[in-house]
Amino acid sequence: MLEYLKSWFQRRFSDPNTVTLTLLLFIGFGVIIIWGNILAPVLVAVALAYLLEWPVAKLERVGLNRLAAVLLVFVVFMTVGIMLLVFLVPVVWQQSTTLLMELPLIAEAWQDLIERAQEFAPAFIEPQQIENFTQRINERLLSIGQGLLDRSLSTLFVLVTLLIYLIIVPLLVFFMLKDKDVLLAHFTRVLPEQRRLITQVGQEMNLQIMNYIRGKSLEIVIVGLVTYGVFSMFDLRYAALLATLVGFSVLVPYIGAAVVTIPVALVGLFQFGISATLLWLIVAYLVIQALDGNLLVPLLFSEAVSLHPVYIIAAVLIFGAIWGFWGVFFAIPLASLVKAVLTAFSETRQTLQEEQEQT
């Protein structure tokens, strides 16, 4: 057994490029796992810099110099951010507070629905089952509401954290865009000379991450705006809050859409009851999800690496458990990184085998 492991290790890591890539991955993941909370503003800034690099590059191709392009894109970015803070965030906050206050009424509407179901199918649904199930639902809704209210009590800590992000992150984004070549040169300087695989994986992942962040940001905006328009047509309460949730649900492929369906259905049931309006609302929501998955995603992620849904869900669960929100957000690029690394190792092993056969 030991001889087999020794032979496997020698075959895999006989190339210095493989060793340097492995060490870089271990160091990178270790730093993020240990100091991830401290480096969170830096990670946010990196994601935003990737997002804004695309319009900066477009403006450079038109003829603007790097500094002018960065200044123009940064001003537009800050303007949009301020508009969101002024107009969207207060509306979402107000609707969230109102929804929390009405959770008991929503629980009562759910209880009425269960009781009606028992009237239509008394042989299949026992009253005791209805009572136990309804009690659990009510307790769960109330616990969620109480938990959110308790968290809102730590407003000072949230405000301090928000202030740090509002000041530090824009500064980091600006300098990352402005001094991109300088920062990349500094990073390249500390890498070892045997970095062929690092360069190969880095070039592939640079394209994947840029495409993913740009595409995912556009997907959030498009899905959120379309959902808000549809919910407004139905005059659905909490339309801005629910549309925001639906927009951000695309961050978690497959799982997010299923989870957000619950609050949409509960609010629709509370407002419209069992009616044709509720049915058409659910149908419209499902149409939005279908168009997102079958039309919008293929258009926005045409350059992305194709991954099987099982790998995507596994990546969301694993990296989300490790890094929380950002692990979920970068689950697909991280899964693509794992795939790129395995491909690079496989190609290296095949090259070494061919060289041994020739000698």
181-223 pLDDT, tens digit each: 888 888 777 777 666 777 777 777 777 777 778 888 889 999 9
- Among 194, 214, 241, give the residue marking a domain's end: 194
pLDDT at 223: 93
Residue 258 lies in a domain: yes
Instruction: Say which range, 122-131, 187-196, 263-272, has the weakest mean pLDDT.
Output: 122-131
pLDDT value at 283 more than 90: yes
As a residue count, the chain comes to: 359
Split at pLDDT 50, 70, 90, the class of 354 is low
pLDDT value at 342 more than 90: no
- In terms of domains, do 58 and 184 share one? yes
User: For the whole model, what pTM was predicted?
Assistant: 0.73
Of 327 and 277, the structure prediction assigns the larger pLDDT to 277
Split at pLDDT 50, 70, 90, the class of 89 is confident
- In terms of domains, do 165 and 236 share one? no
- In terms of domains, do 179 and 282 share one? no
Of 302 and 263, the structure prediction assigns the larger pLDDT to 263
316, 328 contact by CB (below 8 A): yes
- Among 194, 222, 257, give the residue marking a domain's end: 194
Residue 161 lies in a domain: yes
The whole-chain average pLDDT of the chain stands at 77
Parent domain of 109? 34-194
- In terms of domains, do 225 and 93 share one? no
Q: How many domains does the chain have?
A: 2
- In terms of domains, do 206 and 263 share one? yes
pLDDT at 153: 45
pLDDT tens digits along 154-183: 555 566 677 777 888 899 999 999 998 888
pLDDT tens digits along 44-85: 888 888 888 889 988 999 888 999 999 999 999 999 988 888
Among 54, 18, 359, CA closest to 210: 54
Residue 239 lies in a domain: yes
